[in-house]
C-alpha cells in the first residue's frame, strides 16, 4: 500500500555487563513487528529521523518552500534514515491546516520514496487528528506521528480511544508521548494496550524519562523511538530502536554516529559520539524549541531563523552561545 517499508530495527540487548572501568554491550539481532492489518506488513523505524523545522520567509508570512526542499535534499545527502515534517519542532500549531498539509506534501514529493516520511498529524481534537491523518495518507505519508491532544487533559481511557480512532484511517500511527507539550502523559499500561491495536506502529518517547520507556518495553514489544537528543544513548542502550532528533536539523552526521554505532553494537563509539554532542545539544534548548535550532540553521545558511508568534527571536546571548558551539564543533 505504501511506496516502501518504513525502516525499523528493534534493537534488543542480550547482555548488559557493566563495571566501573567500562561497559560492554552485546546488541541483539533486529526484530520486526508484524501487523494483521492490510495497511502494512512490517514497519521499520531504526536509526536517525530528523524532526524537521519549518522554514518561513523572513517576515514570517509564508512557508519558504524553496528552503524546505533544499533542507530535505541535504538531509538525504547526509544519510538520514527518515524525515518528520510538522511535528512540534515544525511549529505545527502555528501554521494553518493548509500550510501544514502543503509542507507534508512538499517533503513527500521531494523525498520521492528515498527515505520514509512520518507526517505530524496531531490535533487538539480527535476529529481533527483523524482528518489530518486521512489527508496525510492521501498525500503518501508512510506513517503519522500523533501527540496526545494538548490542553484538554484527557483521561487514559480517552487517550486510548483517541489513538484507536486515528489508526482506523488506515495509516500506521506512531504514538507521540510528550507531556511537556501535551500536558498529559500516556501511562505505560495504556501504551501496552494500544500496542495490541493493528496499525499502532511505534512510540516516540519524549517524556525525558528512560524509566518510562523501559517500563513500556517491559510490557510490550512496541518499538520505542527516543524523542530527546540528550537521552539518545541511554535510551538506545535500554532498547530504543532509534532517535527522532532535533540536533540532526543542524548536523545529521553527529546523531547518525550514535545510532549507527549502536546498531553495530559498538557501545564505546556510541558513547564517544553522544558525549561529543552534549554541549551542542544543550545550546539548542536554552530557549523554547525550535528557536535556537532555527538560529543555528540561519548561521549555517540553511534557512531563516524566523519563528511565528508567540515564539520570539532568540536573544543576543543565545546567538553568541550558538556561534561558540558551532565554531567549537567545527561547523563554522
Residue 323, pLDDT > 80, answer yes
Do 294 and 45 contact (CB within 8 A), yes or no? no
> Would you place residue 216 in the very low, low, confident or very high pLDDT band (cuts 50, 70, 90)?
very high
Report pLDDT for 39. 46
Report pLDDT for 112. 98
Residue 20, pLDDT > 80, answer no
Report pLDDT for 1. 39
Residue 9, pLDDT > 80, answer no
Which of 49, 105, 137, 204 is catalytic? The answer is 204
Q: Is 1 marked within a binding site?
A: no
Q: Strands (DSSP E) along the chain, which ranges? A: 13-19, 22-27, 33-34, 42-43, 47-51, 82-84, 118-120, 143-147, 173-177, 200-205, 224-226, 242-245
Which of 25, 49, 105, 176 is catalytic? The answer is 176
Spatial separation of the C-alpha atoms in residues 194 and 12, rounded to whole Å: 21
Is residue 204 annotated as a catalytic residue, yes or no?
yes
Report pLDDT for 43. 63
Residue 22, pLDDT > 60, answer no
- Report DSSP state, residue 314: P
Report pLDDT for 77. 98
Q: Is 244 marked within a binding site?
A: yes
Residue 31, pLDDT > 80, answer no
> Would you place residue 317 in the very low, low, confident or very high pLDDT band (cuts 50, 70, 90)?
very high
Please give the grid coordinates belonging to residue 237: 542502550
> Would you place residue 29 in the very low, low, confident or very high pLDDT band (cuts 50, 70, 90)?
very low
Residue 14, pLDDT > 80, answer no
**Mean local confidence (pLDDT), 79-101:** 98
> Would you place residue 5 in the very low, low, confident or very high pLDDT band (cuts 50, 70, 90)?
very low
Q: At 17, is the secondary structure helix, strand, or coil?
A: strand
Which distant-in-sequence residues (6+ apart) come within 8 Å of 126 by Cβ?
A: 149, 161, 162, 165, 166
Beta bridge partners of 48: 243
Report pLDDT for 19. 30
What angle, 0 to 180 degrees and rounded to 10, lies between the N-to-C axes of helices 316-328 and 267-283?
A: 150
> Would you place residue 42 in the very low, low, confident or very high pLDDT band (cuts 50, 70, 90)?
low
Is residue 176 annotated as a catalytic residue, yes or no?
yes
Report pLDDT for 149. 94
For residue range 177-191, what is the model confidence (pLDDT) as tens digits?
A: 999 999 999 999 999
> Would you place residue 109 in the very low, low, confident or very high pLDDT band (cuts 50, 70, 90)?
very high
Residue 48, pLDDT > 60, answer yes
Residue 107, pLDDT > 70, answer yes
Q: How far is CA 40 from the centre of its chain?
A: 21
Which distant-in-sequence residues (6+ apart) come within 8 Å of 96 by Cβ?
A: none
Report pLDDT for 33. 34
Residue 10, pLDDT > 80, answer no
CATH number at 44-266: 3.20.20.70
Residue 3, pLDDT > 90, answer no
Spatial separation of the C-alpha atoms in residues 31 and 33, rounded to whole Å: 7
Percent of the chain with pLDDT over 70: 87
**Mean local confidence (pLDDT), 80-92:** 98
Residue-averaged pLDDT of the chain: 90
CA torsion 104→91→229→198, rounded to 10°?
-50
Spatial separation of the C-alpha atoms in residues 1 and 16, rounded to whole Å: 39
CA-based radius of gyration for the chain: 19
Residue 112: how many other CB atoms lie within 10 Å: 11
Residue carrying the nine cell digits 492521501: 138
Report pLDDT for 44. 81
Spatial separation of the C-alpha atoms in residues 60 and 99, rounded to whole Å: 13
Spatial separation of the C-alpha atoms in residues 148 and 162, rounded to whole Å: 8
Least confident among 29-38, 40-49, 96-105, 311-320: 29-38
Whether cis (ω within 30° of 0) applies to the bond prior to 220 is no
Amino acid at each position: 500500500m505504501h511506496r516502501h517499508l518504513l525502516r525499523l530495527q528493534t534493537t534488543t540487548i542480550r547482555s548488559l555487563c557493566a563495571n566501573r572501568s567500562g561497559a560492554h554491550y552485546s546488541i541483539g539481532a533486529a526484530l520486526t513487528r508484524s501487523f494483521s492489518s492490510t495497511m502494512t506488513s512490517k514497519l521499520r523505524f531504526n536509526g536517525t529521523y530528523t524532526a524537521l523545522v519549518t522554514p518561513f520567509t523572513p517576515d514570517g508570512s509564508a512557508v519558504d518552500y524553496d528552503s524546505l526542499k533544499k533542507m530535505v535534499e541535504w538531509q538525504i545527502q547526509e544519510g538520514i534514515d527518515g524525515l518528520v515534517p510538522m511535528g512540534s519542532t515544525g511549529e505545527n500549531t502555528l501554521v494553518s491546516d493548509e500550510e501544514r498539509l502543503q509542507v507534508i506534501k512538499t517533503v513527500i514529493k521531494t523525498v520521492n520514496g528515498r527515505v520514509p516520511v512520518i507526517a505530524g498529524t496531531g490535533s487538539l481534537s480527535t476529529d481533527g487528528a483523524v482528518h489530518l491523518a486521512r489527508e496525510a495518507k492521501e498525500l503518501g505519508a508512510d506513517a503519522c506521528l500523533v501527540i496526545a491532544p494538548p490542553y484538554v487533559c484527557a483521561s487514559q481511557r480517552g487517550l486510548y480511544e483517541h489513538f484507536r480512532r486515528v489508526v482506523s484511517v488506515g495509516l500506521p500511527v506512531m504514538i507521540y508521548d510528550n507531556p511537556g507539550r501535551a500536558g498529559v502523559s500516556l501511562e505505560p499500561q495504556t501504551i501496552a494496550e494500544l500496542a495490541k491495536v493493528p496499525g499502532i506502529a511505534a512510540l516516540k518517547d519524549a517524556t525525558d524519562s528512560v524509566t518510562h520507556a523501559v517500563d513500556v518495553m517491559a510490557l510490550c514489544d512496541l518499538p520505542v523511538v527516543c524523542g530527546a537528543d540528550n537521552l539518545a544513548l541511554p535510551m538506545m542502550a535500554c532498547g530504543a530502536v532509534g532517535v527522532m532528533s532535533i540536533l540532526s536539523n543542524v548536523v545529521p552526521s553527529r546523531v547518525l554516529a550514535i545510532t549507527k554505532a549502536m546498531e553495530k553494537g559498538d557501545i564505546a563509539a556510541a558513547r564517544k559520539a553522544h558525549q561529543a554532542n552534549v554541549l551542542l545539544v544543550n545550546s539548542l534548548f536554552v530557549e523554547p524549541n525550535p528557536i535556537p535550532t532555527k538560529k543555528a540553521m540561519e548561521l549555517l545558511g540553511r534557512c531563516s531563523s524566523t519563528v511565528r508568534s508567540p515564539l520570539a527571536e532568540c536573544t543576543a546571548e543565545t546567538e553568541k552561545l550558538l556561534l561558540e558551539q558551532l565554531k567549537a564543533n567545527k561547523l563554522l
